[in-house]
A and B are shown apart, each in its own frame.
Chain A
Amino acid sequence: NTIHIFHHLMDQTTKASGRAGPEHDEEFVDILEERRRSSDLGHALRTFNPHPYRGAPPCSTADLNKAVLESQYLRYVIAMETGSSEEDVREEARGILEEMSQNLQLRFIRLMGYTLTKVFKRLFTGIFVNMEGLATLQQAIQEAPVILMPNHRSYVDFLVISYILFTYDIPVPVIAAGIPLAGMKMVGEILRRSGAFFIRRAIGSDKLYWAVLSEYVKTIVRKGYAPMEFYVEGLRSRTLKSVTPKLGMMHMVLEPYFKSEVFDITLVPVSISYDRVLEESLLAHELLGVPKPKESTAGLLKAGKVLQEDYGTMHVNFGRPLSVRQLCQGKINRCQYNSAPRSKNLPQKPTEEAQACVSWLAHLMVRIQDEGSVISPWSLMACLLLQAPMAVLAEEGLPWERLAERTLWLRRLALDCGAGLNWPGQTPDSDVMSSAVALHRSVVYRRAGRVYLLQQEEPARKRPISPEEAVMRIATAVLMLASYRNQSLHVFARPALLATALHITKSTQRDELFACFCFLQDVFSYEFILVPGELSQDFEEACVLLEKCGAVHISQQEVTLSDMGLEALSFLRALIQPFIDSYQVMFRYLSEEGDPVLTEKQLVPAVRNRATKLILSGELRTYEALSSDTLKNALSALQRLEAVTKLRT
């Protein structure tokens, strides 16, 4: 039954996101085009006439906050808090709410609209939106409370959905944001008034904070006067790769349905894809251990230089609205909540059933975001560039013809695997690839028929650079390249895991292959986000895809290699190889390290040092082992597999 629903769902999303080439361009409309033709001010001052859920009247910040503070649930929690007087606790709750709450005002949406038009026009050649998705969203918003669930790849997209919805007369969302944003002078307040509400990062066991937050979220969902937007991944992905979803917010959002307080909730996955990301080099540095600057308004203004460059296009793909009621059929027994009064269920931990359902749904949303994302030619090129030896790429370069030829080959493979490709049909292929390289001149450059990896020049060097520094310089470019590869990783993840399993086991038996596939997935569960409990379907899918691209023959019992598919198989294996190599560095370090107890803070730099040495000695080929993200994922996987444990000190 699950399988059936899932496939049905996938069929639907496939249709909705309009994957697979030709129709693609027709369906997406550049919303900046009109802005370039007509007045920005006119747009900002347009009559805004949205149709909310059930015609719900707008809810002022004061009313909303009052409803939250006076809710039976919060009153109960406040009364239960011990240690200080009830009045003090109430004051504290009020304080939390003040810090948290959004203050959505149309005036600021207009101001935001005006500013963003200016910024977007400067940054992007186009912002492409699927109009059909917008139309279904408009409908869906009138029928049930809507949760907008975008992926998060750049600061730029924080308000882009609000901007689009404002332009098309759809109620503007309230948006869950991290508290650091609130601390930015002016910007924090502008975001607040544009609908952002702010959540602390480490809430831990602060019961009162949890209670205020969850009641706040649930009240917004129940009232349904505005859609709620949040990042199920919990943060901006530093690697442009999907992140294991966080479940806390997801659970809060779903609970009004679980507890039958609303008839249904609609989830709308939104996939935002970039040709080029503003923060690209910042992110690479961060991954290499250069600390992330604290969000500050001054920092933002310094980014002025960043604004001078061309970032190509942005695609915003609104997925098909999904009914929580339908998705949860057979997964949640709502009767379990019937015996407790509605207002008083704080001590109750969510049941295993509910947790499993929330986790499933969260992963599913990530998968649909992946499926809906639009893949650029550059991402395919990045996949290929990364498979060349880096020293060679940096010093000798790669013949352009060869790269172009391989890219066109990979385009076919990607389409076979169902990728939503943004490959302009009217432009000659060679021009498409040339302009992709030109757009990414911060990573690669083309000279005399060869493509080279760009190594950033450091100004005014006093001394010659050390071998370690040289490694870091290449690593910066490699990690940028890896990020762009990551944009299409989800397309190849399943077949690539199978290709690797075929290689490791040297077996043709399905069950052996499946066991190895599961093992790999288990180890790399933080790298490739698959929906829990659907491994056998993923395996089947992988088999079918490999057969489709001619790499294997499948029968009831066996998966056999085909001579035709060696190129595909070796490409797919090579895609996984950097992860295997990086994880092995971590494993080896841990098993060779004498001291069985290590602090987390020391571990990543230590392994990074080890990796640098291995690269210099030629024992390690991948620079991705230097990425703190990869290393942290490896550690999390080990933790999950109970090979290491985290001690709290």
Chain B
Amino acid sequence: MSCLNFNVSHVLSQLNLCQYLPFHRQEIMKWNGWGYSDSRFLFNKKGQAEFTGKRYKLSGMIIPGLKEWFEGTFGANLQHKSPPILNSSAVRPPTLNEAFVEELKSTGVPFSHDAEDRVFRAYGHCVHEIFALREGRIGRVPDLVVWPNCHNDVVKIVELACKHNVCLIPYGGGTSVSSALECPSEETRSIVSLDTSQMNRILWIDEKNLTAHVEAGIVGQDLERLLNESGYCTGHEPDSMEFSSLGGWVATRASGMKKNIYGNIEDLVVHIKMVTPRGVIEKSCQGPRMSTGPDVHHFILGSEGTLGVVTEVTMKIRPMPEYQKYGSVVFPNFEQGVACLREVAKQVTPDFYLIFSSGHALKPQVSSIFTSFLDGLKKIYITKFKGFDPNRLCVATLLFEGNREKVLQHEKQVYDIAAKFGGLAAGEDNGQRGYMLTFVIAYLRDLGMDYYVMGESFETSVPWDRVLDICQNVKARIVHECKERGVQFTPLSTCRVTQTYDAGACVYFYFGFNYRGLSDPVHVYEQVEHAAREEILANGGSLSHHHGVGKLRKEWMSETVSNVGIGMLKSVKDYVDPNNIFGNRNLF
């Protein structure tokens, strides 16, 4: 596996006696921010940026340049701090369904109505969710948390919920960025959060068929680590893989950065078992493909917890790659970079290569903050000799893995194509660094929020012929909307192409702004994101590539899938869950 992930899991197993997620996640994880409690960015007494903890490669390191970037990009000032207000006592007492609780006790499934446990499961990681938590504003939270240990526990819980008309909200890794975990304020029934984290075993590995049967509560890093121990991997690596769960991937149609080699979640699953109010749904065999009417898996994939709980999944696995190589290419501008990616997607068979990112580099892009990307000589070479404009530069980072010979062959092929688009190879280190950053970027937002800076990323998928225009227009729209709404400092508004397909690409937008002087920054943020999403749709982008719809993007669903489409989805919901037991009200 990649150097970074190896380290993460390795360090983790030494640090924590409990390798898996504990019942009370708040013991090791932030309840009002991203990730592990011990890992965070801060500005130390000398005003230098530092990343705390011991879990990551970057941990314990001083990050030169971050302060300047932070102040320069956002107009932020270290004197102006906006620390979180810690106040978890504002939680309303639970509304318990006594009969349900009584019967639950007799099943022996552990549960809790402790305030901290409940608050932890009431939110995902949208800006407004985290911001509210930091301000100590806590809305409707689940009334009870249950921790089933296996498929049969889930069957029992769902039966009881149906019997006593209790609302169930499945909870996996909690990394949602679509308001999917928010408890509907109009829900009057008792809400039970069904935490799948204890269903985290690999039940079997089938070396013959190269599949693994896994409980759906397992989180990405545990799944990879356990498979690696047997010499296998799934290759599914979403940015959230440290915390997001297999069940969550299935329920949101997740995508990983190595999808060009291994495929997206829908390509990786062979068999799914889900518990619904109507009973258990699963296919009768593990056939690799079937022609048996519409694929019922596709009712489950992307159902976002509205139909039931995914309990077990059979996934394809692959032997760990024999050889890995990072790389990076600098392009004179974003347009050339995109043109190159398009060409690569056309020419290179996707088996053994990966391109995962291309973004505006030096100035706006986040990666530049950690290290001055182009040191001395190289910078002079690129900017002076080749006539690159440092403000328009763009970097693509690459990861090749597989058979050594083929990796080298593909590497050459990719660099040859890049050269045709004016790209210069910029070394393995930069590629690796870019890859590593993926996991710590999420921590950065918390640092911003300490200093009046609010930020978020959101994604879309778009045909190739619209990539450049959508990037240009959405970025412009963000800047424009901020101005309209009285944001005093020019916001950060940038983008990356993160995935390539035959027919298009996945594009990420990054938006951050200094909210000093705004009375309701979250509202401003939401308006800008809303406008940006409208712009995305008007430019031929999709509602979501892999984050899902949740409640955040519900309003656009009918125009996205048509009224008939919504009707189809609703009729499935009506049949499977007529009493809306799975009442998180996502999707429609």
Contact = CB atoms under 8 A, between A and B. Distances in A.
A335 interface: yes
Given A335-B537, A335-B538, A338-B540, A263 B477 contact: yes
From A260, A262, A342, residue with most partner B Cβ within 10 Å: A260
A335 B538 CA distance: 5
A219 to B, nearest CB: 14
A545 B463 CA distance: 53
A632 to B, nearest CB: 41
Interface of A is mostly: loop
Interface string B530-547: 000000011110000000
A346 to B, nearest CB: 16
A263 B559 contact: no
Nearest to B479: A263
Interface in B458-504: 463, 465-466, 469-470, 472-473, 476-477, 480
A281 to B, nearest CB: 51
Contacts of B480: 263
Contact of B470 (A260, A337, A341): A260
Contact of A263 (B463, B465, B472, B537): B472
B562 to A, nearest CB: 12
B465 A260 contact: no
Interface in A229-261: 260-261
Interface string A27-69: 0000000000000000000000000000000000000000000
B469 A261 contact: yes
Given A263-B476, A263-B477, A334 B538 contact: yes
Interface string A343-372: 100000000000000000000000000000
A342 B538 contact: no
A69 B204 CA distance: 61
Contact of B538 (A260, A262, A264, A341): A260
Contacts of B470: 260
B72 to A, nearest CB: 21
Interface in A297-352: 333-335, 337-338, 341-343
Contacts of A335: 537-538, 540, 559
A334 B463 CA distance: 16
A334 B473 CA distance: 13
Contacts of B539: 260, 334, 338
Nearest to A264: B476
Contacts of A262: 469, 473
A342 B504 CA distance: 13
Nearest to A263: B476
A191 to B, nearest CB: 33
Interface residues of A, number: 13
Contacts of B537: 335
A264 B463 CA distance: 21
A553 B469 CA distance: 55
A343 B465 contact: yes
Contacts of B538: 260, 333-335
B473 A342 contact: no
Contacts of B477: 263
Contacts of A333: 538
B540 A263 contact: no
B472 A342 contact: no
A338 B472 CA distance: 17
Contacts of B473: 260, 262-263
Contacts of A334: 538-539
A263 B473 CA distance: 5
Nearest to A336: B538
A335 B535 CA distance: 10
A341 B462 CA distance: 12
Interface in B335-378: none
A260 B540 contact: yes
A343 B472 CA distance: 19
Interface centre among A263, A264, A334, A342 (most CB of B within 10 A): A263
Nearest to B538: A334
A6 B160 CA distance: 60
Contacts of B559: 335
Nearest to A260: B539
A342 B537 CA distance: 15
Nearest to B559: A335
Interface in B536-571: 537-540, 559
Contacts of A341: 463, 465
A343 B480 CA distance: 28
A215 to B, nearest CB: 16
Nearest to B466: A342
Interface in B93-111: none
A337 B540 CA distance: 8
A260 B463 CA distance: 14
A334 B537 CA distance: 9
B387 to A, nearest CB: 13
A341 B465 CA distance: 8
A263 B480 CA distance: 10
16 contacts: A260-B466, A260-B469, A260-B539, A261-B469, A262-B469, A262-B473, A263-B472, A263-B480, A334-B538, A335-B537, A335-B538, A335-B540, A337-B540, A341-B463, A342-B466, A343-B465
Q: Which 7 A-B pairs have the closest CB atoms?
A: A334-B538, A338-B540, A263-B476, A260-B539, A263-B473, A342-B465, A261-B469
Given A263-B472, A338-B540, A341-B465, 12 more contacts: A260-B466, A260-B469, A260-B470, A260-B539, A263-B476, A333-B538, A334-B538, A335-B537, A335-B540, A341-B463, A342-B466, A343-B465
